[in-house]
Amino acid sequence: MNRSSIIAAALLITLVLSTTPTATAEELGGRGSIWAEGIGLAILRGSGEVQIQGHGAGLVWVKDAESIEASGEGHKWEIPETKATVLAGWSGTIRISGHNMTIWMVGGVIEFTASGAGRVYLRGRGTYEINGCQGVWSGAGETLPLEVATESP
């Protein structure tokens, strides 16, 4: 993917996603932690801390974060008008924290850990673990609260 394609994709995603409504942490599904790795789309909404391990493929779009620390190599754009940051082709670590933030990860190998209050949407192929309970990503997509699963009697 050449530089102009990356820029065009990042700007398109920023324009589309900046109109996506976000929910507050109180409206979201649960509190806990998740580790996930896969190929496809991951969306996190809520409050807490997120660490993304970039493998040089894909895009990360972050809106309304209080802190973003990125170490490694890749392309990074800040869009002040929408309070968004886009990272493309990042190889390294991205640490994000905040309240009522939204994070989209799209593309190649997606690997992240997150803790706090909120929910995560996973679509594609991969595995995850939420508070010790393991699962697989759905090809159709699935929204999961960050809470401990309860067992049925």
Beta-strand ranges (E) seen in the chain are 30-55, 59-63, 67-79, 84-130, 133-136, 142-145
- pLDDT tens digits, 93-137: 999 999 999 999 998 889 999 999 999 999 999 999 998 899 999
pLDDT at 14: 45
- pLDDT tens digits, 27-38: 445 789 999 999
Residue type, 100: N
| Distance in angstroms (rounded) separating the CA atoms of residues 14 and 84 | 7
Q: What angle do CA 104, 110, 116 make, to 5 degrees?
A: 60
Cα end-to-end distance, the chain, whole Å: 51
Q: Which of 36-40, 79-83, 99-103, 144-148 has the lowest mean pLDDT?
A: 144-148
pLDDT at 108: 84
Domain ranges of the chain: 3-145
Which comes out higher in pLDDT, residue 122 or 151? 122
Over range 62-72, report the average pLDDT. 96
| Distance in angstroms (rounded) separating the CA atoms of residues 129 and 145 | 12
How many Cβ atoms from other residues are within 10 Å of residue 110's Cβ? 25
Q: How does residue 78 score in pLDDT terms, banded at 50, 70 and 90?
A: very high
Q: Is a pLDDT exceeding 60 seen at residue 20?
A: no
How many Cβ atoms from other residues are within 10 Å of residue 7's Cβ? 14
Q: How does residue 45 score in pLDDT terms, banded at 50, 70 and 90?
A: very high
pLDDT at 5: 54
Q: Is a pLDDT exceeding 70 seen at residue 19?
A: no
